[in-house]
Structure formats: structure tokens, C-alpha cells
């Protein structure tokens, strides 16, 4: 069996539990594709899983290779796979992507546009799809007012741009240092959450798309108009609270097939219609630094690991 390099951890803990080591190279099962990974996004779910925050309802088998979103080139295809062949450059969602090689269902991959670098394409695999789903779930119509909580983050920065694609009136919250940045993404109004509470500045909104959770989510109910909708990617939707406020709430389910969405995201990014913000890049052996940076909760866009051996 061939070996390859991957990051994995044997116990939950801080970033230091992650080790770069030799592991058996995965093999694609029927319907899967083996990809030589060139870049992988560092998603909040990665470090929350590593820290053990999710172990009670989403445990992983240890040792665990983290990572979900990536871009690279096809190395091998499994049985019953059509549309991909060795040498194709692809991006999408897989598993164990903090590695030189990773497998992914063919249904969660798309061909990478030549105009996109691997590091630009990698965050679209999960972060981009999540943003797309959130905007779709909000069912935004031209002129409707939507509040994006966390407009500078990985998902939030793409939600702002995708909502503008639908000609919605986009309001976004962010830290003071990112106000100009979020405005440049296309937000019509940018609220510095340090200067004043957002709930004192907006009301009667058609939709809220929450990427933050916690207290921010709890304070978001009251800014919606009756019949408005709250989309959250940072908590479980609470129907009882929604009903008490006379609004709707929706969470997002993981899709079995995302190729169509990825193709549309890839086209938008390749044409320049949307920008894929990359906060910083790190070589794979500096994965602990990448996780520490992601855990701060600050930054513009997604951190990305570059995998070169």
C-alpha cells in the first residue's frame, strides 16, 4: 500500500495535537474520485471538531484527518464515475483534505475554471456552497432588505456578494477595521458592531443571514418584520422562538450533490462577478498556526492551507 502525507490528531485538544505524518494513501470507492490536493480551506468546523466542541453530536473516529473543502487534480476515479478523468483540475467537498491525497464523491466536485487558482477555488467547496444555500433559503427578491451577520468572514463575505447578485439591499455587520472592506464587497450599508448595537439601527427586515450565532443570533429575531426569515449556519434553528416572534427560521442541510452549485460559483468567481476572499495562506506543516488564526474569529475570508510536496 502506498503512503502519503497527512495531518491528523489522536485526541481532542488545542492546535498542537495535530501532527503531519505518513498515512496510507486512500483509494476511491465506487462513485468517488481520488484527488491530489493542492489547497484546502481551514473551516471553523475543522477547529471546533479538533477542540472537541462537537464530539457529543458529531464525533469523529480517532485518529482523524481534518478538512472538507479543497481543490486539486484528479489522480484516480472509482467505478461508476463519469465526467472526471485523471489530470482534470477540480474543486469541491471531500473528507480528510488536510492531506496530499483525499477522496470525494464525484457528486460534490466540479471542474475548476482555469481563471481560478487552487487557493481561490478551495474555499468554494464548502464555504461557497454554504453561502449559496443560505441566500437560496432566504428566497431574496430584488429590493428586499437582508442583514448579514459577520459580513467579513469566510461565509459572510460570499453571502454579501451573492445577495447583491439578487439585487437585494444588503446590510452587513462587521468590526471597525473591516467596514471599508465589506462595503467594497457590495454591501449597501455596513454596521460597525462596536460603535452601536445593530438592533438599535435596523428593523423591519425581510431576512437575516446569521454566520455568528450565540448572542448575535438571539438579538437578531427582533429586527425582522412579521413573516420575515432568519437563516442560521451557526446554531440549530429554533422553531418555537421563531413562532413567538412571528417569523420563520431555517437551517441548512448538507447536500448529497453540489456539482451544479459549484459550477455556478466557479463561473461567477472566474468572471470576476464575485471575489473569493482568502485571509491568508499557510503551508501544511504550519497547520497549527492556521487553526490558531482561524480561532480568533477575525479576518477577511477564509484561511487556506497550501499543499506542496
**Can you give the pLDDT at residue 297?**
75
**Can you give the pLDDT at residue 265?**
98
For the domain that residue 40 is a member of, what is the CATH number? 3.90.180.10
Q: Is residue 255 part of a domain?
A: no
Q: What does the alpha-carbon distance between residue 281 and residue 306 come to, in Å, rounded to a whole number?
A: 7
Residue % of the chain over a pLDDT of 70 = 100
Q: Are residues 141 and 62 in the same domain?
A: no
Q: What does the alpha-carbon distance between residue 282 and residue 144 come to, in Å, rounded to a whole number?
A: 39
Is residue 298 pLDDT above 80, yes or no? no
Q: Is residue 62 part of a domain?
A: yes
Q: Are residues 193 and 233 in the same domain?
A: yes
Q: Are residues 90 and 175 in the same domain?
A: no
Q: Is residue 206 part of a domain?
A: yes
Q: Work out how many domains the chain is built from and give that number.
A: 2
Mean pLDDT of 15-29: 97
Q: Are residues 149 and 244 in the same domain?
A: yes
Residues 6 or more apart whose CB falls under 8 angstroms from that of 6 comprise 20, 21, 23, 65, 96, 98, 99, 100
Mean pLDDT of 136-146: 97
Q: Is residue 195 part of a domain?
A: yes
For the domain that residue 144 is a member of, what is the CATH number? 3.40.50.720
Q: Is residue 260 part of a domain?
A: no
pTM as predicted: 0.95
Tens of pLDDT along 150-163? Answer: 999 999 999 999 99
**CA dist 173 to 30, 44, 147, 236, Å?**
44, 19, 8, 21
**Can you give the pLDDT at residue 69?**
97
Least confident piece of the model among 36-40, 236-240, 242-246: 236-240
Q: Is residue 59 part of a domain?
A: yes
**Can you give the pLDDT at residue 92?**
98
Per-residue confidence at 309, pLDDT binned at 50, 70, 90? confident
Q: Are residues 163 and 200 in the same domain?
A: yes
Domain range enclosing 206:
128-250
**Can you give the pLDDT at residue 267?**
98
Mean pLDDT of 18-26: 96
Tens of pLDDT along 82-106? Answer: 999 999 999 999 999 999 999 999 9
**Can you give the pLDDT at residue 125?**
97
Query: By CB neighbour count within 10 A (0-12 exposed, 13-18 middle, 19+ buried), where does 234 fall?
Result: middle
Per-residue confidence at 289, pLDDT binned at 50, 70, 90? very high
What average pLDDT is seen over the chain? 96
Tens of pLDDT along 198-217? Answer: 999 999 999 999 999 999 99
Q: Is residue 183 part of a domain?
A: yes
Is residue 273 pLDDT above 90, yes or no? yes
Q: Are residues 168 and 228 in the same domain?
A: yes
Q: Is residue 166 part of a domain?
A: yes
Amino acid at each position: 500500500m502506498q503512503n502519503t502525507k497527512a495531518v491528523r490528531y489522536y485526541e481532542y485538544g488545542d492546535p498542537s495535537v495535530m501532527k503531519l505524518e505518513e498515512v496510507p494513501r486512500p483509494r476511491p470507492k465506487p462513485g468517488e474520485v481520488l484527488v491530489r490536493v493542492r489547497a484546502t480551506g481551514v473551516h471553523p468546523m475543522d477547529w471546533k471538531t479538533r477542540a472537541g466542541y462537537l464530539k457529543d453530536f458529531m464525533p469523529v473516529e480517532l485518529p482523524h484527518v481534518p478538512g472538507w473543502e479543497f481543490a486539486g487534480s484528479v489522480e484516480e476515479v472509482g467505478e461508476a464515475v463519469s465526467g472526471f478523468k485523471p489530470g482534470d483540475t477540480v474543486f469541491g467537498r471531500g473528507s480528510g483534505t488536510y492531506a496530499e491525497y483525499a477522496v470525494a464523491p464525484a457528486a460534490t466536485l466540479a471542474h475548476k475554471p482555469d481563471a481560478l487558482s487552487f487557493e481561490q477555488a478551495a474555499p468554494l467547496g464548502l464555504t461557497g456552497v454554504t453561502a449559496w444555500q443560505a441566500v437560496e433559503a432566504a428566497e431574496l427578491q430584488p429590493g428586499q432588505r437582508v442583514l448579514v451577520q459577520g459580513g467579513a468572514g469566510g461565509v459572510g463575505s460570499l453571502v454579501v456578494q451573492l445577495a447583491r447578485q439578487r439585487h437585494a439591499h444588503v446590510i452587513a455587520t462587521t468590526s471597525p477595521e473591516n467596514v471599508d472592506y465589506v462595503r467594497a464587497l457590495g454591501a449597501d450599508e455596513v454596521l460597525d458592531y462596536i460603535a452601536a448595537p445593530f438592533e438599535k439601527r435596523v428593523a423591519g427586515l425581510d431576512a437575516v443571514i446569521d454566520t455568528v450565532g450565540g448572542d448575535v443570533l438571539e438579538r437578531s429575531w427582533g429586527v425582522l418584520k412579521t413573516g420575515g426569515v432568519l437563516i442560521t449556519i451557526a446554531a440549530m434553528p429554533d422553531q418555537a422562538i421563531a413562532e413567538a416572534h412571528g417569523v420563520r427560521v431555517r437551517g441548512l442541510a448538507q447536500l448529497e450533490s453540489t456539482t451544479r452549485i459549484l459550477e455556478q460559483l466557479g463561473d461567477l468567481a472566474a468572471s470576476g462577478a464575485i471575489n473569493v476572499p482568502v485571509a491568508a495562506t499557510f503551508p501544511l506543516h504550519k497547520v497549527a498556526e492556521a487553526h490558531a488564526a482561524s480561532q480568533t474569529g477575525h479576518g477577511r475570508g477564509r484561511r487556506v492551507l497550501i499543499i506542496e510536496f
